[in-house]
Amino acid sequence: MAVMRRLLPTAVKAALVGLVLFFVVRSIPLKLADLESFLIHANLQFYSSMVVFALFLMLQAGIWVLIVNAAGEQAVRNGEGAKLPLLNGLRIFIDSQFGKYLPGGFWNYAGRVVLASRAGVPLDAQLAAIVYENILLVSAALCYALILLVSLDIAPALCIALVLAAFVLAYVYYDKSSAIVRGLFMRASRQRWLQRAAGKMTAAFARGSGTGAFRSDAGLSRSRFFGYLFCFLGSHFIMGIAFWMLTNSFGRGSIGLLYAAGTFATSWLLGLFSPLPGGLGVREGFLVYFLSLKLGAETALYISVIARLWNMMAEAVFWAIARAVSHMTGRVKTYEKP
């Protein structure tokens, strides 16, 4: 029985890795022979673009760590949780990132909660960070999507002025609106079934990471919210550079940098409505549509297929770098400690 208990965690981890790999392979629309041939003949610009995209993922993970620590700042001061170190945060982010390829579309967030709770991060700070991160990500992507739609005459230029006005209003009334939102979360967190579920999760994975109730101070100030928004705008620009390098690496025509950033951001946004893991199908479809306007349908289809593989390879590069840095610095993952 003791041997079974020792082997069970390893067996569960192996089963999860196998399950993720199964769905990852299924989401790549290439045969093994075609995949091998492409990777052998791909040029330096393709691999350089993949490294740049991995940098974008690292920036996105780093911003998430900042948001988590800012949201849980007061709880940490009160001794109700721990601050998440940057390296541990990067490891947690990328270790859980592959869960997005599992059916359901939420397993990456569930993985973050489990691993960050083991690291002692307050649960309410994590939940607040998930909400803020998605609001900021969507807002940043909308900005680039709007630039694309205006450039294609799909949306009038007046939309840019309206979005700017919306941001000004959000800045002016941020404190009032955020207080209302926090109040709604606090009411919801008082539901007994939610408290029981959060309590079980905290007891199972956390080490003093707070209660399941949403604290009124588990939020971002106005300056931090808009500061992180600019961070996401900057990271999305890095993403645009990576995708621009990718599209121009095939020698079948070229597109502008802002057009590339807008295309990838818009496809990502629309992929959120896909019922399949990782926005599969929907994102590729819109990539084909927007790229075909500049490069032709055949080239656009080819790039959309390779883009899925490219994305996964960049995530693997991020994971390998995080592992290597952690190993070289001799730091141990706190969330793996019992």
**Per-residue model confidence as pLDDT tens for the chain (338 residues):** 555 555 555 554 455 445 444 444 454 555 666 667 777 878 899 999 999 999 999 999 999 999 999 988 888 888 888 899 999 999 999 999 888 877 766 788 888 988 998 888 888 888 889 989 999 999 999 999 998 988 888 888 888 888 889 989 989 998 888 877 766 666 655 556 555 655 555 554 444 445 445 555 667 889 999 999 999 999 999 999 999 999 998 887 789 999 999 999 999 888 877 666 656 667 888 888 999 999 888 888 888 888 888 998 999 999 999 999 988 876 544 555 54
Q: What are the DSSP E strand ranges found in 90-175? A: none
Spatial neighbors of 106 by CB under 8 A, at least 6 apart, are none
For residues 125 and 216, give the distance between their C-alpha atoms in angstroms, rounded to a whole number.
Answer: 10
How far is Cα 255 from Cα 206, in angstroms, rounded to an integer? 48
Backbone dihedral region for residue 82 (phi beyond 0: left; psi -120 to 50: alpha; all else: beta) = beta
Domain residue ranges of the chain, discontinuous segments joined by +? 36-332
**CA 57 → CA 28, 228, 236, distances in Å?**
20, 15, 10
Q: What is the pTM of this model?
A: 0.81
Q: Which amino acid is present at 2?
A: A
CA–CA separation, 13 and 19 (whole Å):
10
At 199 the pLDDT is 57
Q: Which two tokens stand for residue 251?
A: 């020698």
Interacting residues of 271 by C-beta distance below 8 A, sequence separation 6+: 278, 279, 280, 282, 283, 286
For the chain, the distance separating the N- and C-terminal CA atoms, rounded to the nearest angstrom, is: 19
Cα separation, 182 vs 174, in Å, equals 12
Token digits of residue 43: 């040029």
Residues 6+ away with beta carbon under 8 Å from 237: 261
Half-sphere exposure of residue 237: CA atoms within 13 angstroms, side-chain side:
6
Instruction: List Cβ neighbours of 54 (8 Å cut-off, separation of 6 or more).
Output: 314, 315, 317, 318, 321
Tokens 């883009």, residue located? 307
Of 112, 61, 104, 109, nearest to 280 by C-alpha is 104
d(CA 219, CA 67): 9
